[in-house]
Amino acid sequence: MKKSYDNIIFSLQKAGGVSVYWFELLKRFKLNGVQCFELDNDNVFSSQLNLITRRESRIPLKILRYLPFQKNLPAYSIFHSSYYRVSLQKNIANVTTVHDFTYEYFTKGFRQKVHTWQKSFAIRHSAGIVCVSENTKRDLLKFFPDLDPSRIQVIYNGVGEEFLPKKDFIDNFLFDEIVGKKFVIFIGDRSAYKNFDRVVETVKQFPELSLVIVGGKKLSDNENLMLDSLKGRYYSYRGVASEALNWLYNHAFCLLYPSSYEGFGIPVLEAMKVGCPVISTNISSIPEVAGDAALLVDQPTVFELSEKVQLLQDEKLRNDLIEKGFIQAEKFSWNKCFEETVEFYEKVWQREFGDKN
């Protein structure tokens, strides 16, 4: 069974959860054979792979990203795109991974329409669909109630092996300005549903705490204005590789992750695996991932988040939560994700081409 991968996500983002997912699969496929197509990019994960790749097309990325895959592929093979693209060859079985429905729930206007059209086209033209959580599967069937459930497989994301509790390692020179400070981490995109404004207001309640903002786009004028209330107490870092992120988790007071919606929520697991307590929400996929190993709020209000931060001052509760986090993180691994993905390819291939040699 031949497999082809479209690595276009590496050209669409410098870092992010989908890039992590794709990187972890590719890292394992280096030993198992997969043909990869990739465009120029500055993705922090792609640069670690040293893959032999082919270029799909000279069509500019801003157009190509919305087009079906352009190259001819080996007959009776699997094609898996990193971001909602399919091959229209009749003898190809497409596999699509659905991470979430944030655009459908939280975005309006032209961007939402284009994204929803592209996602729908990929789903409708796929022989197999991977959902990264049961919550994402429920959302998929809500938006596409006529889909055949036998074509859908829930395969959980994992957590990187590089995330380890290492309290004794040398302080990272990238973060000299926060060494010795007591800080909470906010990681990822700062779209409205991520409730970044409530994180700022929560940290404001605790003068001894600083806020470390990891990833996302450059801080906007409005965000800088909002952060004036934390002057001298906030730090923003973009393009943070896993080793540096591991340092941050190891030194943080907690991860503050009050998202109103997640397809999975990889940072929750990363923090737990390191021994960084997590405060998050009892919403969407997060309870699936966090189990009883995080402090979850029913509503991400400043009052409820502040209550949880205060609870973490209790050393016994804090240590109990850390121990539960270690146990919870062990339930998820990228090796398991990879193995289940390969098994799903086999299932899809057999259903589509079982009579072919």
Same domain, 187 and 295: yes
241 exposure class (CB count in 10 Å sphere: 0-12, 13-18, 19+): middle
Same domain, 282 and 338: no
pLDDT tens for 189-206 read: 899 999 999 999 999 999
Q: Is 80 exceeded by the pLDDT of residue 156?
A: yes
Rg, the chain, Cα only: 21
Q: Where are the beta strands (DSSP E) in the chain?
A: 3-6, 35-37, 77-81, 92-98, 128-131, 152-154, 183-187, 210-214, 234-237, 254-257, 278-281, 295-297
Position 149 in a domain: yes
- Please choose, from the candidates 41, 262, 19, the residue with its C-alpha nearest in 3D space to the C-alpha of residue 139: 262
Same domain, 177 and 320: yes
pLDDT tens for 215-273 read: 888 999 999 999 999 999 999 998 788 888 999 999 999 999 999 999 999 999 999 99
- Domain count for the chain, please give it: 2
Q: How far apart are CA 291 and CA 159, in angstroms?
A: 15
Same domain, 46 and 142: yes
Q: What is the mean pLDDT of residues 93-114?
A: 94
pLDDT tens for 28-40 read: 987 667 899 999 9
Q: Is 90 exceeded by the pLDDT of residue 166?
A: no
pLDDT tens for 49-69 read: 988 899 999 999 999 999 999
What pLDDT shows up at residue 223? 95
Which residues, in sequence order, are bridge partners of residue 278?
255
Position 25 in a domain: yes
What pLDDT shows up at residue 343? 97
SS3 77: strand
Domain region containing 95? 3-158+334-353
Position 168 in a domain: no
What pLDDT shows up at residue 347? 97
Contacts of 315 (CB under 8 A, 6+ apart): none
Same domain, 139 and 190: no
Which stretch of DSSP H or E encloses residue 315?
Answer: helix 315-329
State the pLDDT confidence band at 130, using cuts at 50, 70 and 90: very high
302: domain CATH number? 3.40.50.2000
Q: Is 70 exceeded by the pLDDT of residue 348?
A: yes
What pLDDT shows up at residue 168? 61
Q: Is 60 exceeded by the pLDDT of residue 357?
A: no
- Output the average pLDDT for the chain: 93
Same domain, 341 and 301: no
